Amino acid sequence: MYSMQGIVRRSIDNAINQFERLGRVGNNLANFNTRGYKTVNFEQMLHEDGYLTGAIRTDYKQGSIQITSNPYDVAIDGVGFIPVFSPSGEVAYTRDGAFKQGRDGYLVTNDDWIVGNGIKIPTNCYKFDIKPNGDVVAYSAVDDANPKLLGNIPLVRFENPQGLEQYGRNKLIPNEEAGKAILVKNHDCFRQNNLENSNTSIYNGVTDMLRLNASMLASTRMIKVVDDMYNKAINIRE
């Protein structure tokens, strides 16, 4: 049998957990149009003592792939991440393949992080292709039968992707739990002229928000009921 103090503690604990989960759901909905974004869930666990705890889990399932017709765009169709390097040498990982040609001709992200080990695209080439295995080749003319290999966009995987942490601007960095980045060879995961959409479901997100809001209201009302009971008990004693 629970005491009134126990009811208050559990109600406050539930409200705090639901509020944090609500924040995660709101962040997912805010990133619904972010390329390659993966849904972050706050999974709840109810213990025998009645208290709620939670763990943060990222859903890495494949997002839908959308045709863009932009040759600089590349989607990852499968598991993995593209390593990118900042101008200062920091390394991060992303699934957002909305790239562009930087000032020096290198393939870069929208915020000017270099893709892979540096792939310089000639400004005077007829066109360039990004092959499914990541090879980037340039053609000098329409009938060029021997395109020049410019470099390769690497694809890496982690033993425990749940160990990846948000770095900002749609990038991830690994912690000790993620393990080392493993280079994937002989794959066909890249799709040029395409981008991967977020895997967030707006319908599930809205449903979760409504349910969490109702749970938070129930917890706060329970606290109000117990508070009224305390006030009545104090008044009786007086």
For 34-52, the DSSP string reads STT---EEEEEEE-TTS-E
Q: Which residue type is seen at 199?
A: N
pLDDT at 227: 65
Report the 10 Å Cβ neighbour count for 15.
Answer: 19
pLDDT at 17: 73
Domain range annotation of the chain: 4-60+200-237, 65-196
pLDDT at 1: 43
pLDDT at 203: 87
pLDDT at 69: 87
C-alpha distances in angstroms, 218 versus 12, 49, 206, 213?
11, 19, 19, 9
Rounded CA-CA distance 220/12 in Å is: 8
- What's the average pLDDT block by block, 10 residues per block, for the chain (238 residues)? 61 72 86 91 66 77 94 96 94 96 92 94 90 94 88 96 90 93 95 96 84 71 67 63
Residue closest to 129 by CA, chosen among 186, 172, 190, 80: 190
3-class DSSP assignment, residue 146: coil
Pair 196, 5: CB distance under 8 Å: no
pLDDT at 116: 92
- Site of tokens 């794959």: 187
pLDDT at 8: 63
Distance from chain centroid for Cα 64 = 14
Q: Which residue type is seen at 88?
A: S
Q: Please name every residue paired with 226 in a beta bridge, in sequence order, or none if there are none.
A: none
Rounded CA-CA distance 28/208 in Å is: 11
